[in-house]
Structure 1
Amino acid sequence: MINANKSKITIEKERQETFSKKIDEIKRTFHAKIGTIKDKQGRDLMEKEDIKKRWREYTEELYKKDTQSIDENDGSTIELEPDILESEIKWALECIANNKAPGIDEIPAELFKILGDDAVKILLAICQQIWKTQQWPKDWKRSIYIPIPKKGSAKECSNYRTIALISHASKIMLKILQA
C-alpha cells in the first residue's frame, strides 16, 4: 500500500514537472504581436506603452462596477455568517478545473491539489482573514486580460472579446462566496 502511494506521488510529481517545463517552453517561444490600436478619439496608437494604456483603459471601462452602494439595512441587527470552513475549501478546490491558465501569480490549480492538506490549511487561513477583514490580497484582485479578435477592425478594442485570467486561489474564495 505504501509503495502504491509513493508511486502515485512520483507520477504526480513527474506530471507536474512536465507541465512546468511545457509552460516554460511556451513562455520562451510565444511573443504576442502588438499592432496598432485606436484610442477613444480614433487616433492610431503605435507605441507599446500607449497600446497597453489603451487596453487598460478599455478593460476598466468594460468591467467597472457601479460605485454607488444601496444601504438596505433597515436598522436591524445583521447576523454574520459563520467563518469559512475547511470542508468548503476542500470542496472549492475540487471544483477548480485542471489544465487552466493561471493568473498573475502563475500558480497552477494542480499545485494546490498536489499539496493537498497543506494547501487547504494555507488557503483556509487566507480565506478566513479575507472573510474577517473584507480585504483581498493585492494579487488576487489583479487579472491578466487576453484579447481575442472578433469580426471587424482589429484596431478597435470593442472588436475583441476579453478573457480575464485570475489566480486559482482567488477562484477558490469566489467559489465559496457564490455557494
Structure 2
Amino acid sequence: MYENLCGGELRFSKEMREEEKKVIVKVWSEHGVKEYRRRLEEATFKEQEIEKMVTELKEVIEKATKKKEVIVRGAKGAGKKNGWWDRECEQAKREVVKALRGWRRNKIDRSRFLEAKRRYRERCREKKKQKREREEKEIKEIRTEREVWKYINRERKKKEPVSEKITIQEWEEKEKQTVMEETEITAEEVGKHIRYLKKRKAPGWDGVQNEAWMYGTERMVERMVELMNGVWRGEGFPEDWREGVICPIFKKGEKNRAENYRGITLLNTGYKLYASVLSERMKREIEEKGVLPDSQAGFRKGRGTVDNVYILDHLARNELRKKGGRMYALFIDFKAAFDKVDRVKMFECRGDICENEEQGEGGRERGRMV
C-alpha cells in the first residue's frame, strides 16, 4: 500500500505488486519543503469563524504544497533490538571492527579477524545465557500476580526522582499555573504532537497530509492553536472534522459478506491533532491518579498483551508444579467488539464530563465508503 497520495491510497495485490502506476503526489523533499514554507509565509489568514477558519487553512495548505507526477511501488522494512547488551559486548564488537579494518588493509591475517569475530559471538551468547538464568531464578520465586507486576514494572523505564530543592511554594505556584493554563491549548502542546506525526500516511477526506503540519511555519501552527481553542471554548465544531473516509479491510472468511470486513476510518489530520492533545491530557490525568489497575495493559504506553500472557503463563506453571494443582482460565473474544458499543450511551457519558454537552452530542462522525 502506498499512502502518500492526494486524496486516498493505492493498494497492490501480490500478483500486481510489480505493476507500475502514475499518480500525483505531494513533494516533501528538501526543495519541496522550502517552497512549501515560502508559500505559507506569503499566505494571509483573515477568517474568524470556526468553519471558515478550517476551510481557509485547508485551502492555504493545498495551494502551498508542491506536487508532481510519479510512478509508485511497494516497500517494506524491519528492525530489532535486545536487552542483554553491555559494555563487554560493545568492547568485543569494537575489536571485531578493528580486526576487520586491519585485515582489509593487509596489516593482520584473516585468522585474527575470524578469532575476534568468534570471541564476540561467544560473548554475546554468554550474556544472553546469564540474563536468562537470572530471570529464571527470580521468576521461580514469584508466587502472586502482584509480584509478577512488580517484576515487570522494575524492568520498565525508571522515572526520574523528584528534586528535593524545589520548595512547597514553588510546587503550589506551578500547580496553580497548570490549572489556569489547562483551559487553553498551547502552541507547545500542538508542536509536540506535530513532532509525533509520521510521514507517508493516508490523509482524511480533505487531503491534508501529516507532512503539511510537520513542515509548516510557526504562523500556521499559531493559526491551528487559535482554531483548536475556539473549538475547546465551545464556539463551534468544524463540519470537515466530523467526516471520515471508511476503508473496508478484509479480515477472514467469505469475501462476499460485509461482516467479514473491518472498517478503518481515515480522519482529517487537523482533527487528529486536536484529538491527540485531548487524549494526552486524559491519559496523564488517569496515570497520575492511578485510576487503572496494573492488569489493564490495553491502550497504555509501555504495556501490551505480552505482559499479561507472561503473567498467566507463570501463574499456570507455578500452580501445576504442585501436587494435584490446577488452574482455571476463561478467555473471551467478543466478535466485532467495537461495533457493539452503545454509541448513544457513550455520547451521554461524554456529555456528563464535558462542559459543552451539546457539542459532545453533535460531534458524531459521518463516514464515506471508499
Q: TM-score, normalised by structure 1?
A: 0.57
1:113, 1:119 within 8 Å by CA — same for their partners in 2? no
1:96, 1:109 within 8 Å by CA — same for their partners in 2? yes
1:12, 1:114 within 8 Å by CA — same for their partners in 2? yes
How many aligned positions are there? 117
Distance 1:158 1:92, change over 3 A: same
- 1:171 matched residue in structure 2: 272
The superposition leaves residues 39-88 of structure 1 with CA deviations (integer Å, 9 ceiling, x where unpaired) of xxxxxxxxxxxxxxxxxxxxxxxxxxxxxxxxxxxxxxxx8842111111
Distance 1:10 1:133, change over 3 A: same
- 2:46 matched residue in structure 1: none
Distance 1:107 1:149, change over 3 A: same
In structure 2, how many angstroms separate the alpha carbons of the residues matched to 1:175 and 1:11? 27
Q: C-alpha displacement at 1:10, in angstroms?
A: 2.2
Q: C-alpha displacement at 1:134, in angstroms?
A: 6.5
- 2:197 matched residue in structure 1: 96
2:249 is equivalent to residue 148 of structure 1: yes
- 1:10 matched residue in structure 2: 31
1:149, 1:161 within 8 Å by CA — same for their partners in 2? yes
- 1:64 matched residue in structure 2: none
In structure 2, how many angstroms separate the alpha carbons of the residues matched to 1:82 and 1:170? 18
- Structure 2, unmatched stretches of 5+, are 1-28, 37-64, 73-178, 281-370
In structure 2, how many angstroms separate the alpha carbons of the residues matched to 1:21 and 1:101? 17
Higher relative contact order, chain-length normalized (CA < 8 Å, sep 6+): 1
2:190, 2:277 within 8 Å by CA — same for their partners in 1? yes
Query: Which residue identity lines up with residue 88 of structure 1 in the other structure?
Result: E
1:103, 1:143 within 8 Å by CA — same for their partners in 2? yes
In structure 1, how many angstroms separate the alpha carbons of the residues matched to 2:235 and 2:263? 27
- 1:115 pairs with one of 206, 209, 216: 216
* SS, match of residue 143 in structure 1: strand
- Structure 1, unmatched stretches of 5+, are 1-7, 27-78
Matched ranges for 1:64-79 at <5 A: none
1:144, 1:166 within 8 Å by CA — same for their partners in 2? yes
Aligned CA RMSD, in angstroms, stands at 2.7
Q: TM-score, normalised by structure 2?
A: 0.29
Query: Which residue identity lines up with residue 12 of structure 1 in the other structure?
Result: V
The superposition leaves residues 83-122 of structure 1 with CA deviations (integer Å, 9 ceiling, x where unpaired) of 1111111111111211100001101110122222122012
The superposition leaves residues 128-177 of structure 1 with CA deviations (integer Å, 9 ceiling, x where unpaired) of 00100163211111100100112222222210022110011111101100
* SS, match of residue 163 in structure 1: strand
Query: Which residue identity lines up with residue 33 of structure 2 in the other structure?
Result: E
In structure 2, how many angstroms separate the alpha carbons of the residues matched to 1:150 and 1:134? 41
In structure 1, how many angstroms separate the alpha carbons of the residues matched to 2:242 and 2:32? 34
Query: Which residue identity lines up with residue 222 of structure 2 in the other structure?
Result: K
- 2:295 matched residue in structure 1: none
2:205, 2:266 within 8 Å by CA — same for their partners in 1? yes
In structure 2, how many angstroms separate the alpha carbons of the residues matched to 1:165 and 1:9? 27
In structure 2, how many angstroms separate the alpha carbons of the residues matched to 1:90 and 1:140? 20
